[in-house]
Chain A
Amino acid sequence: MADIKIGAYVCKGCGLGERLNTAQLMTVAQREGKAQVVREHEFLCNSAGISMIKQDIEKEGVNHVVIAACSRRAKTDAFGFDSVAISRANLREGVIWVQPDTDEAKEITQEMAADYVRMGCAEVAKMQIPQINPSHGNNKRILVVGGGISGMTSAIEAAKAGYEVLLVEKTGQLGGWAAKLYRRVPSHEPYADPMETGVPALVRQIEADKRITVHLNSTISRTSGAPGQFSVDISKESGGTSTENVGAVIMASGFEPYDLKKLPELGGGKSPDVVDQAGLEQLARAANGAAIKRPSDGKEIKSVVFVQCAGQRDESGKHLAYCSGHCCNTSIKQAMYFKDSNPNVDAVVVYTDLRTPGNGEDFYRSAQRKGVIFTKGTVSEVVPGAELQVKFKDLILNDDAVAKADLVVLATGMVANSGVDIDTAGGAPNVEGQKEGGESKVVSILNLTYRQGKDLPLLKHGFNDSHFICFPYETRRTGIYSCGPVRRPMDAQQAIEDATGAALKAIQAAENAALGRAAHPRSGDLSFPTFRREGCTQCKRCTVECPFGAIDEDEQRYPQFNESRCRRCGTCMGACPVRVISFENYSVDTVGYQIKSVDIPDQFSEKPRILVLACENDAYPALDMAAMNKIQYSAFARIVPVRCLGSVNTIWINDALTSGYDGVVLMGCQKGDNYQCHFVKGSEMAYYRMSKIDDTLKGMSLEVERVRTCEVAITDIQRAPKIINEMAETIQKIGLSPMKF
């Protein structure tokens, strides 16, 4: 790589010129920051300022640029120079907007600014311009696992965009549960009647599409690799395995209905005339529009009761705790099967909350018009017999009641077919996981060879949904997306939408992998982790702690970074006790040298130094917005944005303390069940590591109050400055650190 030539540019706009001695800052950049080119400008972000910098890049060979102006979040268009390393010294939001404009404050404000210039120069000196990951793959074929309505939709939609698709289905035919339906819930106005499932047309479309290759009676017996270069073994039921390469994977393995035999009190398994919703579809298909006959004696059904939430929304812990979302609409549809063939059939739906969101309301009204009876109640028992008795508490009349019926339909809900729960099974081979309310044998869907386990991590209740509200396609296995009811309980209409979106994400993962780029949330980042093999002690922390399962172990038990699976959060870098892991543009040194570059006044100066390591997505913007609102905080704080608190290596804390910092504050996202960390486990790992810092402090004979780890949200605009000030007060109480030189 070419020699580093640092250019430092100090802006005088937005009051910086009036509040700060910019000439001194330039001297600092030149003498201490080793910047070869140093310039100031009245208004750095205007076209003249930008062309000045561009000219230095082109003519002077400046390749590392320090912008000493506003926050890295501001003016990104103007300061977005290609193919140079850039660091932003935040003099506006980080200094003058958070300090009083008074004569007394002038000195410490200037010192603050000078430190940020030092830090910017130190960071940029250690940064490298990311080179593209050399081991990226170019395969853009999409593997879809599961041939139900979700998988078929993903396959068709990906093919429509021009991509080759491999569709693998474990049974002998495409269609999944949707193919077993008589009709489906309508997706268009007037939402009055059940509609055709559309499955045969989808199957025909797949068969006619030369971009889609279908493997029936097949499962995935091995998945290895990374986006752009997955290798999968497709095993036929009859024996025989073929190995295929794909660029991304969509897991659409669907659901199983909750076993009605687990509901004997509701007649499940006790009477052939108590069926689940799938059972009713079978009867309706057999009738094909004529009168539906009951299983026990073939008698034409004259009365039917639908029991909603059967084994769902269960508070006892025995059954499913969740609502499956589609069952109210499904029961309405099924009640219509009866009413449409014979309006004189009594169809009663017993529910606690009728859940027909959106235009389901029209469908609900249509059922009422057709004479379906809706009763708010909770069913306690279904007594088998020639005439079934449904005992329930009528919640409107607040009274016990009995309904008699020829057939009872239990709306039992969906159980995700999501494979092995790697968090409980530990990813060990041949472990049978256990699903909520179920004991059925769990078979892995993807059989990933990843060190962290065979399947996608689950979120809740056995579904592998995303934890993030804004980013529903996020999974913890890069390039592998799930869709349909395996992800979250859903109806066919939502599954179609979901499957289309998942197809986009898969395509995107393959496209970005081919360019050596990171996936969400650092999309486009070209850097990737490397490690110094000689220094590695094979402690395995990086392979264990990676939130995305990106790191395996090679034959010699060294970490094997699958760069295309990496999200560039730096959790591995934070975990590494011997500090051998780094990214080109973010490393132990880029931060470590910033920390070391700060000027530490002596013990008698009454000028403490507080290091703040702030999550760049939440805490750092909160501090920026505090500045925009002119909320002040201690001039002794030196704030370093970090990719994620998980990337914080404790060496930074140790170095800061031994070099004389008086306090350290770590600001990261909420951890725990409702974690907000976009790298999943980063902030949790930071807390874990920091839980041991007290011993370190005691070993140095320092007070434990000197280091504090806090959860800070992006909305903590008033609280984040307060936390800094509290640390300043603490230091005032306990005194400056004795470790200054």
Chain B
Amino acid sequence: MSGAVATNETILVVGGGISGMTAALEAAECGKDVVLVEKNPSLGGRVSQLYKYFPKLCHPTCGMEINLRRIKANKHLRVLTLAEVDKVEGRAGDYTVTIRLRPRYVNENCTACGACADAVSTEIDNPFNYKLNKMKAAYLPFNMAYPQRYVIDSSIIGTPDAEKAKAACKYDAIDLGMKEQTMTLKVGAIVWATGWRPYDAAKIQPYGYDRYDNVITSVEFERMMDPFGPTAGKLVRPSDGKEAKNVAFIQCAGSRDRNHLKHCSRICCMASLKQSTYVNEQFGDQAQSTIYYIDIRAIDRLEDFYQKVRANPTVKFVKSKVANITEDRESSDVILHGVDTEGYHRYDNRHDLCVLAVGMEPSVDARGIPGGVHADASGFLEADAANGAIFGAGCATNALDVNRAVQSATAASLRAIQVINKVSGAEV
């Protein structure tokens, strides 16, 4: 859809995660023309990589299916994937945006039959699984991927494998000559919803994420629960594949720490509480979870969930910022060292696996957003009159849970509509 026509009554939404999809859909369902751009080959964003949501323990792909149905049914909304915004010029009500489209090497003829993946032998890291496993270099990003269209990884372009993929395709869907393209769009308002990324756990040196196999991040833990994930849905230790029944969760891994992220990432307490239920889901009463925390931040009715987990005898809470982690060479067990501040006891606790509840940082530093917007010290986009008609939505603006991200996106959508209605002179 590179020939998308847009006008200054069009809204551009940047980022196809739940915030971007929401902002785009809410505007499109008000009858506005929307172009949604996503840098990955599929919509879905971070939430599509989660096993369950707190506190309902329902599945994010359920809401995603509804949103995809809404997208499929809406003629006002156009989706561009593998697309990134390079340049934004102009002003509120009259922007010219330059978008760079990376080649997918697969066109709209693709039926997602999967013949190309069968033909290819090269394997590459699977980014959907945080590179915990490999996948074919011709791939559908994940089961729910939209557009439902394969991707040929650029690393095999020019190799015989790419030719094999092309030969396997009966539908003339593979175009190895595809080149990066740029396109310019006229838009009236922009919703910036580029989301978050997990803080680089390796930077928290005392925890040894880069040294110990059995120290992983909370987002990786989510992927382990997916039956189609890197461990086929089993909670096992990366070091030896042994069942991880005794799991430590370290809160504020990077957050609330001036050496790392100065803000509280809001979701991590609830995420670890939720993940403790995963351990029970797999091992029942054999499960042992220990949550090392400073404050448990289960805001408003999420408190109910906290109380439920607290009543679970297999979950222990230790008020402590863990000082450091060592590894028992022989068993590959991880040993957490620190002081329990409730009564000041020293501890050296042994666990099968340690999950770092890593903080959220903006996926795109707002200081570098084309067009120029107000950024806070952490790189989140801050609302400001000087931003013109560029409105932040979701985790690009702050560390938010899904509920709040969607509220934020809905609000941003209205702010964009206000600009568009002014441009078009629409009076009701």
Contacts and interface: CB of A to CB of B under 8 A. Distances in A.
Contacts of A629: 143, 228
Contacts of B63: 468-471
Contacts of B171: 13, 43, 46
Interface string A572-609: 00000000000000000000000000000000000000
Contacts of B266: 357-358
A465 interface: yes
Interface in B18-60: 18, 26, 29-31, 51, 53, 56-60
A463 interface: yes
A432 interface: no
A398 B342 contact: yes
A472 B406 contact: yes
B377 A325 contact: no
Given A189-B377, A354-B295, A618-B65, A718 B227 contact: yes
B74 interface: yes
A304 interface: no
Contacts of A313: 303
Nearest to A719: B227
A7 interface: no
A717 B406 contact: no
Nearest to A523: B29
Nearest to A323: B303
A115 to B, nearest CB: 23
Contact of B300 (A188, A488, A617, A670): A488
B30 A511 contact: yes
Contact of A625 (B143, B399, B403): B143
Interface stretch (B106-114, B281-289, B348-356): B106-114
B111 A75 contact: yes
Interface stretch (A125-133, A492-500, A540-548, A731-739): A492-500
A14 B113 contact: yes
Contact of B410 (A315, A504, A674): A504
A490 B300 contact: yes
A380 interface: no
A471 B406 contact: yes
Interface string A1-29: 00000000000011100000000000000
Interface string B401-412: 011101111110
Contact of B66 (A465, A678, A715): A678
Given A511-B31, A629-B228, A361 B411 contact: no
A361 B402 contact: no
Given A161-B421, A501-B407, A618-B65, A357 B414 contact: no
A278 to B, nearest CB: 19
If over half of B's interface residues share one DSSP class (helix, strand or loop), that class is named, otherwise mixed; here it is: loop
Given A357-B266, A674-B56, A625 B73 contact: no
Contact of A164 (B60, B148, B410, B428): B428
A13 B403 CA distance: 42
B29 A512 contact: yes
Nearest to A485: B300
B62 interface: yes
Given A398-B343, A463-B301, A472-B406, A523 B70 contact: yes
Given A45-B111, A361-B264, A714-B61, A470 B67 contact: yes
A45 to B, nearest CB: 6
B386 interface: no
Most buried by A among B65, B113, B296: B65
Given A140-B428, A674-B57, A717 B227 contact: yes
Of listed A80, A489, A498, A500, residue having the most chain B CB within 10 A: A500
A461 B66 CA distance: 28
A659 interface: no
A362 interface: yes
A11 to B, nearest CB: 9
Interface in B319-345: 319, 341-344
A323 B426 CA distance: 43
Contact of B109 (A46, A625, A715): A46
A621 interface: yes
B300 A501 contact: no
Interface in A122-172: 140, 157, 160-164
Contacts of A463: 301
Contacts of B69: 521, 617
B301 A470 contact: no
A500 B426 CA distance: 19
Given A357-B297, A473-B410, A70 B111 contact: yes
Given A398-B342, A470-B60, A461 B421 contact: no
A161 B414 CA distance: 8
Nearest to A15: B113
A676 B58 contact: yes
15 contacts: A13-B111, A13-B170, A15-B113, A74-B148, A358-B266, A359-B263, A359-B376, A359-B398, A398-B342, A465-B301, A470-B63, A488-B300, A505-B410, A628-B112, A628-B143
9 A-B pairs with the lowest CB-CB distances in the bound complex, closest first: A470-B63, A501-B410, A500-B411, A504-B414, A353-B295, A357-B266, A76-B72, A501-B411, A14-B113
Given A325-B299, A512-B29, A670-B58, 20 more contacts: A13-B113, A13-B170, A14-B111, A189-B376, A313-B303, A315-B307, A355-B299, A357-B297, A360-B264, A361-B256, A460-B304, A465-B301, A469-B58, A470-B406, A472-B406, A501-B410, A504-B30, A504-B411, A618-B65, A717-B228
Interface of A: 13-15, 43, 45-46, 70, 73-77, 80, 140, 157, 160-164, 188-189, 313, 315, 321-325, 353-362, 376, 395-396, 398, 460-461, 463, 465, 467-473, 488-490, 494, 497-498, 500-501, 503-505, 507-508, 511-512, 520-521, 523-524, 617-618, 621, 625, 628-629, 669-670, 674, 676, 678, 713-715, 717-718
